[in-house]
């Protein structure tokens, strides 16, 4: 049986640890939401489902003990449902492989076992290209996640698995040519089923993290819920105004008379005022800035501005470090008018043996307490290291997980290290015995801190860094 964390193992959390991880959790998840993809498995390359290491928390409370929160109990039930589904999926995989070995061995390379990616020390992700830019920014919408929805995904995947199992059984009695075609279809369908499994696993990790964080700090997420609703209302007001303008333009056959325009402006003045007020409130919240570390240095060369950021890394694969460096530096490079802004990263390698000194050095692939690992680094630089279940930022450290990661997501992570908060809001609804429904919405899809897949590093990011550093001098 696959080793997994149950929500009860995460329930008695260190609140400060959860909140710090939550504060710096990456925006690539929201980037994927903006693309309206239905498969969270894809999001693992560009999203932050921070799977908490139980070694960083208090001991779990025994199942069935009193005072276990309802969101944890509901999560346990979903985990059991998922574990049952996973057993069925493994059994089907073995049956499919047996059939392909005898009837279509050329299809075996595209059929992978349904096992989660392994994470641990020195396990690195693949750095992949950013998705193609969208023709127009996506409409802001609320993404909603909960245990009931995850249960629904499991039921839907189980139904698909049952259909495939029946089709595999029927294929054995077909004529050779028809059987070959059936095997091809089943192999392709299995890849989709495998993606569904990764999607469900990602939902479980996500709900475990954020429902726990919400329970630990209701007031924070109630405030975020208000901002979430304001973004939705701002979007609605904007759409109403645009619809009225479009209707007036159509009625006037492409030319709006002064009388119609005056009437439209009078009719819409309240909407415009409300839209602008909502926009100011949203901007004030998303533009909150955490402190830039003292080791970040700003250099000016006439119209060229360079933000120097020193890093420690214990990653032994220098080619990977250089690739990550290029990805972040290329994204954090902006030409604006006559000005040129760029971030320059300076990596210093620290061997694991030197880092740990007389303490036990972790072995490659070993799972470890991330917080304890970070404490071994000197405090005068940022950190790029490994060992996470999924990539995330914790304070000054970018901690890499095993899933593919887009270049823009790495740049988003660097934004957190520089002091920028996420440009999206995460709120919730209380679902009583079903736990919480987590609500997310991007406040600015043009900002890399809100949507790495569609956003960019903007001039105001650099201006903020420059002004903050000047104010500290």
pLDDT digits (tens, 9 = 90+) for 156-199: 999 999 999 999 999 989 999 999 999 999 999 999 999 999 88
Q: Quick check: is 59 in a domain? A: no
Q: For the chain, what is the total number of helices (H) and then of strands (E)?
A: 13, 12
Q: Quick check: is 52 in a domain? A: no
169 & 272 share domain: no
41 & 27 share domain: yes
DSSP string, 324-356: HHHHHHHHTEEEETTEEEEEEEEEEE--HHHHH
d(CA 80, CA 76): 6
Q: How many CB atoms lie within 10 A of CB 298?
A: 18
φ/ψ (deg, to 5) at 386: -130, 180
Q: How many CB atoms lie within 10 A of CB 264?
A: 17
152 & 276 share domain: no
Region for 432 from its dihedrals, namely left if φ exceeds 0, alpha if ψ lies in -120 to 50, beta otherwise: left
323 & 192 share domain: no
212 & 249 share domain: no
Q: Quick check: is 231 in a domain? A: yes
107 & 240 share domain: no
234 & 370 share domain: no
DSSP string, 170-228: HHTTS-HHHHHHHHHHHHHHHHHHHHHHHHHHHHHHHHHHHHHHHHH-HHHHHHHHHHH
Task: Classify residue 212 as exposed, middle or buried by CB count within 10 Å of its CB (0-12, 13-18, 19+).
Answer: buried
Buried b (16+ CB within 10 A) or exposed e, 122-143: bbbbebeebbeeeeeebebebb
Which sign does the torsion angle of CA 121, 126, 127, 133 carry?
negative
Give the predicted TM-score (pTM) of the model.
0.73
Can you give the pLDDT at residue 241?
A: 65
d(CA 299, CA 307): 6
Of 231, 258, 286, the domain-final residue: 286
352 & 402 share domain: yes
Q: Quick check: is 54 in a domain? A: no
- pLDDT per residue, tens digit, the chain (473 aa), is 333 434 333 333 333 334 444 443 444 343 343 333 333 433 333 344 333 333 333 334 455 556 899 999 999 999 999 999 999 999 999 999 999 998 999 999 989 898 877 889 999 999 999 887 666 655 667 889 999 999 999 999 999 999 999 999 999 899 999 999 999 999 999 999 999 998 898 899 889 888 998 999 999 899 889 888 888 877 777 676 666 666 666 665 555 555 555 555 655 555 555 555 655 655 665 555 567 888 999 999 889 999 999 999 999 999 999 999 999 999 999 999 999 999 999 999 999 999 999 999 999 999 999 999 999 999 999 999 999 887 889 899 999 988 889 999 999 999 999 999 888 888 999 999 999 999 988 877 888 998 888 789 999 999 999 988 776 65
d(CA 349, CA 359): 19
DSSP string, 38-57: S-HHHHTTS-------GGGS
Q: Quick check: is 154 in a domain? A: yes
Of 216, 239, 274, the domain-final residue: 216
How far from the centroid of its chain's Cα atoms is residue 279's Cα?
A: 25
263 & 354 share domain: no
Can you give the pLDDT at residue 44?
A: 38
Can you give the pLDDT at residue 259?
A: 52
Of 42, 426, 1, nearest in space to 209 by CA: 426
Q: Quick check: is 132 in a domain? A: no
Q: Determine the 3-state secondary structure of 371 from DSSP.
A: helix
97 & 82 share domain: yes
20 & 154 share domain: yes
Q: Quick check: is 134 in a domain? A: no
Q: Determine the 3-state secondary structure of 420 from DSSP.
A: strand
| Number of independent structural domains in the chain | 3
d(CA 272, CA 35): 28
Task: Classify residue 381 as exposed, middle or buried by CB count within 10 Å of its CB (0-12, 13-18, 19+).
Answer: buried
243 & 208 share domain: no
**Is the Cβ–Cβ distance between 460 and 334 less than 8 Å?**
no
Of 246, 261, 286, the domain-final residue: 286
Q: Which domain holds residue 261?
A: 220-286
Q: Quick check: is 292 in a domain? A: no
Give the domain CATH number at 393. Answer: 3.40.390
């Amino acid at each position: 049986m696959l080793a997994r964390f149950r929500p009860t193992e995460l329930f008695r959390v260190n609140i400060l640890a959860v909140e710090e991880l939550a504060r710096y959790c990456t925006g690539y998840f929201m980037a994927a939401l903006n693309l309206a993809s239905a498969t969270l498995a894809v999001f693992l390359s560009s999203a932050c489902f921070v799977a908490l290491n139980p070694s960083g928390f208090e001991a779990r409370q025994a199942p069935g003990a009193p005072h276990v929160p309802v969101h944890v109990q509901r999560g346990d039930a979903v985990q059991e449902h998922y574990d049952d589904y996973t057993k069925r999926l493994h059994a089907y995989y073995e049956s499919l492989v047996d059939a392909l070995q005898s009837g279509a061995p050329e299809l075996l390379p595209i059929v992978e076992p349904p096992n989660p990616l392994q994470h641990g020390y020195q396990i690195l992700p693949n750095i992949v290209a950013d998705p193609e830019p969208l023709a127009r920014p996506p409409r802001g919408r609320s993404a909603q996640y909960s245990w009931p929805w995850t249960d629904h995904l499991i039921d839907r995947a189980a139904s698909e698995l049952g259909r495939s199992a029946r089709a595999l059984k029927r294929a054995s009695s077909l004529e050779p040519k028809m059987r070959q075609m059936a095997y091809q279809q089943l192999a392709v369908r299995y890849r989709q089923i495998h993606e569904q499994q990764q999607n469900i696993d990602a939902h479980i990790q996500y709900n475990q993290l954020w429902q726990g964080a919400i329970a630990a700090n209701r007031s924070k997420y109630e405030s975020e819920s208000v901002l979430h609703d304001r973004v939705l209302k701002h979007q609605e007001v904007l759409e109403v105004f645009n619809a009225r303008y479009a209707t007036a333009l159509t009625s006037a056959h492409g030319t709006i008379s002064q009388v119609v325009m005056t009437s439209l402006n009078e009719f819409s003045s309240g909407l415009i005022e409300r839209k602008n007020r909502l926009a100011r409130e949203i901007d004030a919240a998303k533009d909150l800035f955490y402190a830039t570390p003292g080791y970040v240095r700003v250099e000016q060369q006439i119209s060229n501005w360079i933000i120097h950021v020193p890093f420690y890394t214990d990653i032994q694969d220098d080619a990977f470090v250089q690739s990550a460096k290029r990805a972040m530096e290329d994204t954090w490079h902006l030409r604006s008018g006559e000005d040129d802004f760029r971030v320059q990263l300076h990596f210093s390698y620290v061997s694991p043996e030197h880092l740990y000194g007389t303490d036990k050095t972790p072995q490659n692939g070993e799972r470890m307490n991330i917080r304890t690992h970070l404490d071994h680094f000197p405090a005068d630089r940022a950190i790029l290291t490994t060992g996470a279940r999924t990539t995330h930022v914790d304070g000054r450290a970018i901690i890499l997980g095993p899933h593919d990661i887009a270049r823009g997501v790495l740049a988003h992570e660097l934004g957190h290290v520089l002091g920028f908060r996420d440009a999206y809001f995460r709120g919730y609804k209380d679902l009583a015995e079903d736990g919480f429904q987590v609500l997310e919405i991007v406040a600015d899809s043009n900002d890399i801190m809100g949507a790495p897949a569609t956003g960019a590093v903007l001039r105001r990011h650099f201006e903020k860094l420059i002004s903050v550093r000047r104010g500290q001098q």
